[in-house]
Amino acid sequence: MSTLRARGRGADRGGPLLEFAAIFPILLITAVVAVEAFLAFVAAERLESAARAGARVAGTQELGGAEAEARAALPTWLDDATVTAAANDSAGFYVEVSHPLPIVFSAAGFDLTLTRRVDMPDV
């Protein structure tokens, strides 16, 4: 009877729980990094699109509504992005849109900024 008991559940004595406790932080960090990487790629695409929309307006209507158009093209979760519109060196205009990273877990303390710039000739 004692050999059956040793082979049953009592023989584990919490081994799987300890294995889970050791692996869980690694899985959690992997998930957090994956979410941040995904949002960084999406943010890069959205910043590029907003800069392109602002540069299109700057190229056709001068600098008047370029910044406002770029801001309007940004999603609400990127509202704190910095938008700059000015003349470039080749007699045209540029719109630059920047946002700090990380997006979700800002307590990480990284000092990274994602920036997209689009130049447009004066037409």
Q: What is the pLDDT of residue 121?
A: 81
Rounded-to-integer distance, Cα 27 and Cα 19, Å? 12
Say what the pTM is.
Answer: 0.76
Q: What is the pLDDT of residue 6?
A: 54
Burial of 92 (0-12, 13-18, 19+ CB in 10 A): middle
Give, for 21, the enclosing helix (H) or strand (E): helix 15-61
Rounded-to-integer distance, Cα 47 and Cα 74, Å? 7
Cβ atoms of 101 and 80 closer than 8 Å:
no
Per-residue pLDDT of the chain (123 residues; tens, 9 = 90+): 555 555 555 666 788 888 999 999 999 999 988 998 898 899 999 999 999 999 998 888 878 789 999 999 999 999 889 999 998 888 889 999 999 887 777 666 677 889 999 998 866
Rounded-to-integer distance, Cα 72 and Cα 78, Å? 11
CA distances in angstroms from 16 to 23, 29, 103, listed in the order given: 11, 20, 35
Rounded-to-integer distance, Cα 112 and Cα 107, Å? 13
- The four Cα atoms 68, 72, 111, 28 give a dihedral, to 10 degrees, of 170
